[in-house]
Amino acid sequence: MLKVIEKDDNIYDGQYGGFHLSDLNEVISIVEASEWVEIGGLTSFPCFLFDGKENIVPTNNMTTVRRAKEILEKEGIQPILNMPSATCSVTIPEIRKLGGHQGEPGHALTGTTPLHAVLDLPEIPALVYVSEISHNLDEHSYFYGGGYYRRGHFENVEVVDEHNVVFDTVLPLKDESIDYYIETKNEHPVGSTVIGSFRTQIFVTRSDLAIVFRTTGGKPHLVGIYDSLGNKSEKVKNGRFVLIVLDSFGVGAMDDCVEVRPRDVGSNTAKHIIQSKPDIKIPTLEKLGLMNAIGEEVGEHKFSDIANFWDSNLTHYGADSF
């Protein structure tokens, strides 16, 4: 696949390379003299660009590719034309009209081409950036970075705190800065979940990539955690848990209580505290599964459907469970 380039083409910094049209006949001669190499096609990048409104338009690169095709055809070569950039349901018909054969539908798979930001297209946006509010300063919040892409047009986020969802604006990050933290216009509780979306390039991220799969009508499940190069992690990086011991806060008497400590029959410290203080606010403990461990809901205190919980007997005789 030969990449062709002319001086009026649209080329991004860091991507210069290829053959000028005036060099193609020489390149053809060199390739034909080789036993192991043959010319299969032509390409350039970008062949399409977003016009800033609601259209994807061909670039001059497209003209260069088609002129190169004519040169190769005169030498008896029928090249495949690869025409990448913003490949999606809108540009694929255009590629065909212009005589092309291939695109590179990376952002179509996640619904994150520039067109998807302004139009409802068949490809559904399916990429989110999930972070957390780290700290506040001078009436602004800062959430953890590490996955930001300078050309991503990151503009808005949802901030989730308990049952509240607040929309906020992302303040611009200078291109020369490292995205240790990303700033929001307003202040939010530390620890709140931040959900956003932008047009990214996975291979430049420092974040972990979680692949989630869901069939139509089914429940989503985590396929795995990967790094930016596609290597699957055997465990979630920086995984941790915190063990808090609340002494004298049992969730029910042990089975042998009747025999060895009959005075403790009916013990359930956690349940009785809640019964005596029905207005007590313990949302985090409830979310972690306290009521599940107690085995019943008490008043407004409900079971958690997201908790991993357990209870166990102690090694000594009788008394509360743990």
Mean pLDDT of 182-194: 95
What's residue 236's pLDDT?
Answer: 55
What's residue 173's pLDDT?
Answer: 87
What's residue 97's pLDDT?
Answer: 92
Please check the confidence at residue 257 and state whether its pLDDT lies above 90.
Answer: no
Please check the confidence at residue 321 and state whether its pLDDT lies above 60.
Answer: no
Mean pLDDT of 248-272: 85
What's residue 235's pLDDT?
Answer: 60
| pLDDT > 70: percent of the chain | 95
Minimal CA–CA distance to 299: which of 320, 279, 273, 282? 279
pLDDT digits (tens, 9 = 90+) for 99-117: 999 999 888 888 998 888 8
What's residue 319's pLDDT?
Answer: 53
Please check the confidence at residue 265 and state whether its pLDDT lies above 60.
Answer: yes
Mean pLDDT of 49-56: 88
What's residue 96's pLDDT?
Answer: 93
Asked if residues 140 and 183 have their Cβ atoms less than 8 Å apart, the reply is: yes
Distance, in Å, from the CA atom of 195 to the CA atom of 175, rounded to the nearest integer, reads 22
What's residue 240's pLDDT?
Answer: 62
Say what angle helices 60-74 and 24-32 make with each other, to 10 degrees.
50
Alpha carbon of 80 to those of 19, 72, 73: distances in Å? 16, 11, 11
Distance, in Å, from the CA atom of 175 to the CA atom of 156, rounded to the nearest integer, reads 18
Please check the confidence at residue 77 and state whether its pLDDT lies above 80.
Answer: yes
| Claim: this prediction has a pTM higher than 0.85 | no
Q: Residue 317: which pLDDT band, with cuts at 50, 70 and 90?
A: low
Mean pLDDT of 168-172: 94
Asked if residues 157 and 167 have their Cβ atoms less than 8 Å apart, the reply is: yes
Please check the confidence at residue 255 and state whether its pLDDT lies above 70.
Answer: yes
- Helix extents (H) in 209-312: 257-260, 269-276, 283-288, 290-294
Mean pLDDT of 26-42: 94
What's residue 220's pLDDT?
Answer: 85
pLDDT digits (tens, 9 = 90+) for 277-314: 999 999 999 998 999 999 899 989 999 988 888 887 77
Please check the confidence at residue 322 and state whether its pLDDT lies above 60.
Answer: no
What's residue 32's pLDDT?
Answer: 93
Mean pLDDT of 152-171: 91
pLDDT digits (tens, 9 = 90+) for 288-297: 899 999 989 9
What's residue 29's pLDDT?
Answer: 95
Asked if residues 198 and 152 have their Cβ atoms less than 8 Å apart, the reply is: yes
233 strand-pairing partners: 225
Q: Residue 70: which pLDDT band, with cuts at 50, 70 and 90?
A: very high
Helices H, strands E: what count in the chain? 8, 14
Mean pLDDT of 66-88: 95
Mean confidence (pLDDT) of the chain:
89
In sequence order, what are the residues at sequence separation of 6 or more whose Cβ sits closer than 8 angstroms to the Cβ of residue 206? 146, 147, 228
4 strand-pairing partners: 19
Please check the confidence at residue 41 and state whether its pLDDT lies above 60.
Answer: yes
